[in-house]
Amino acid sequence: MNKLAQTLTLPLMCAALASCAGKGTKTASTQAVPTGYSAPRSAGSFKLMPFKEVVLENGLKIIYIRDNSLPRLSLTVLFKTGNMQEPKDLAGLNAMTAYLLEQGTQTRDAMKIADEFGQMGTSLDVSPGFDVTTIYADALTSNSNQLLQLFADVLMNPAFKDAEINRLRSQIMASLKKKVDNPSAFADEQMDQFLYGDHPYGRDANGTPEGLRTLRKQDIIKHYLTFYRPNNATMAVVGQFDDEFEKQLQETMGKWTKRTIPTLTATPAPTIESTQVKLIVKKGLQQTQIRVSQLGIQRKDDDFIPLRMANESLGGSFGSRLNQKVRDDLGLTYSIYSGFDSRKDRGSFDISTFTKNETAVKALDETLKVVKEYVEGGSTEQEAVAARNQLVGQFPRAIETSDRLAYNLLVLDYYDISYEYLTDYISNVNKIKQKDANNAMKRHVDPTKFKVVVYGNESIIPQFKDYKPEIVRLAK
């Protein structure tokens, strides 16, 4: 949900789209041969930068992409762990584990690690999420070896010292508390909770105050030993490097021990019987944030691309119906967009906008009207052509840089979707007919069953009485 804006900007970057039937197998030509890099060939028209895959004995899969256009290289590790792998009463466990990696190892303390990354002109980028957690760092080529040694140390030898755990716990608690001052982020978080209930997607990736208070050092160590394993990770190595560096990297990462990874099941999200509105009221707000959501699809759903195409005309860009109506014609907002956020488990379909307090209900009414009309009536042929052109026309940006390509490959690998997804993307989009996109939208979006979160000041309460809302007043 929070990634929506980005997903819209780069049609593939964040969700590394995939359409193909769930269980793709990797194309034979991408299988690793010691020095051979290859650009996968397929029936598709798009040629990717050459890359190669290697799987180490400990199960770590490495994707190499050589790119000499800039004197730099980057390392990314994607762990198949997130909110989904933590118990509710320990919410925040995965984020704590991830952030603590750079807060001290067996041979370096937190400040030394920060200094060493800093000296290379970089920092460690740690992103704990719902399904996956990514760790990224990059450097100029002259620092390749230092980068590798430091990166490996942080991943493989974290110290998890008590002082660091307490420091970080207090940090995250403080940032959770401050979220209410950022109306947009707060509305997103409240929407997630309302939509997903006790399902792990309903919680901030950084956890909850209760969970953070409860978790102990042994929980962190156990979580690390269970999920932060080479056979639960994929690594991407991108940029300017040579055979020697590959050899060294494999030697270094090969020392990491594998373990059996357990599978967990999540509490299902609640079903929605009819549209429900929740008003969250806070004094002093100058504007109302509005979120409209329902459960969407899993990433592996065959309707992934048809839905993306259908959404393009509804709320995907400036030319979309929502933007033309609610922003351009009515002047009710500066921004409105809709999108499908697809994940390992069922994701969501979300609409996000804001307006002045006085026009809160009008903005919601008009939004729902546009959605209902679109789901029931479908797009016009002209809209379908435009949507196809948008997806096809903007596609190259998603794989324009070697880092972006690597990210897409990592995500596809995570969802077990063939890389042909990228090579065949354009031809697959061009095959989608107007009625396919419209039918997909009808199948997956029910305009009578939305959950709605409205975050504004007291003046919004009387406006919404017809919606029979639940009202939550935030204490001063």
Q: Measured between alpha carbons, how far is 431 from 215 in angstroms, rounded to an integer?
A: 50
For residue 121, what are its two tokens? 């002109």
* Residue from the set 57, 198, 328, 358 that interacts with other proteins by CB under 8 A: 328
Q: Measured between alpha carbons, how far is 451 from 456 in angstroms, rounded to an integer?
A: 17
Q: In the bound complex, what is the minimum distance in angstroms from residue 16's beta carbon to other proteins?
A: 17
CB atoms within 10 A of CB 470: 11
| 472 touches other proteins (CB under 8 A) | no
Distances from the Cα of 67 to the Cα of 27, 238, 239, 298, 347, angstroms: 22, 7, 4, 33, 34
Q: In the bound complex, what is the minimum distance in angstroms from residue 473's beta carbon to other proteins?
A: 13
End-to-end alpha carbon distance in the chain: 27
| 381 touches other proteins (CB under 8 A) | no
| 280 touches other proteins (CB under 8 A) | no
Q: Which helix (H) or strand (E) holds 354?
A: strand 348-355
| 183 touches other proteins (CB under 8 A) | yes
Q: In the bound complex, what is the minimum distance in angstroms from residue 158's beta carbon to other proteins?
A: 16
Q: In the bound complex, what is the minimum distance in angstroms from residue 271's beta carbon to other proteins?
A: 31
Tokens 């716990």 correspond to: 169
Cα dihedral 320, 323, 328, 333 in deg (nearest 10): -170
Closer residue to other proteins (CB): 381 or 466: 381
Tell me the site size for other proteins, rule CB under 8 A: 80
| 178 touches other proteins (CB under 8 A) | yes
Q: If you compute the radius of gyration of the chain from its CA atoms, what whole number of angstroms results?
A: 23
Q: Binding segment for other proteins among 19-27, 54-62, 256-264, 349-357 (CB under 8 A)?
A: 349-357
- Contact in structure between 77 and 155 (CB atoms under 8 Å): yes
| 162 touches other proteins (CB under 8 A) | no
* Residue from the set 51, 117, 136, 425 that interacts with other proteins by CB under 8 A: 117
For residues 388-447, which are near other proteins according to CB under 8 A?
Answer: 389-394, 396-397, 399-401, 403
Question: Residues 241-260 vs other proteins: string with x where CB under 8 A?
Answer: --------------------
Q: In the bound complex, what is the minimum distance in angstroms from residue 297's beta carbon to other proteins?
A: 22
Distances from the Cα of 351 to the Cα of 14, 168, 452, angstroms: 18, 33, 9
Q: In the bound complex, what is the minimum distance in angstroms from residue 426's beta carbon to other proteins?
A: 11
* Residue from the set 115, 162, 242, 358 that interacts with other proteins by CB under 8 A: 115
For residue 393, what are its two tokens? 């026309």
| 238 touches other proteins (CB under 8 A) | no
Q: Measured between alpha carbons, how far is 97 from 99 in angstroms, rounded to an integer?
A: 6
Closer residue to other proteins (CB): 81 or 438: 438
- Contact in structure between 80 and 233 (CB atoms under 8 Å): yes
For residues 37-76, which are near other proteins according to CB under 8 A?
Answer: 69-72
Residue 213 sits at φ, ψ, to 5 deg, of -65, -35
Closer residue to other proteins (CB): 25 or 119: 119
Q: Assign 3-state DSSP to the chain and report helix, strand, coil percentages, each to 5.
A: 45, 15, 35
Closer residue to other proteins (CB): 255 or 433: 433
* Residue from the set 38, 123, 248, 459 that interacts with other proteins by CB under 8 A: 123
Question: Residues 186-225 vs other proteins: string with x where CB under 8 A?
Answer: -----------------------x---x------------
* Residue from the set 146, 319, 346, 449 that interacts with other proteins by CB under 8 A: 319
Q: Measured between alpha carbons, how far is 367 from 3 in angstroms, rounded to an integer?
A: 21
For residue 186, what are its two tokens? 């707060």
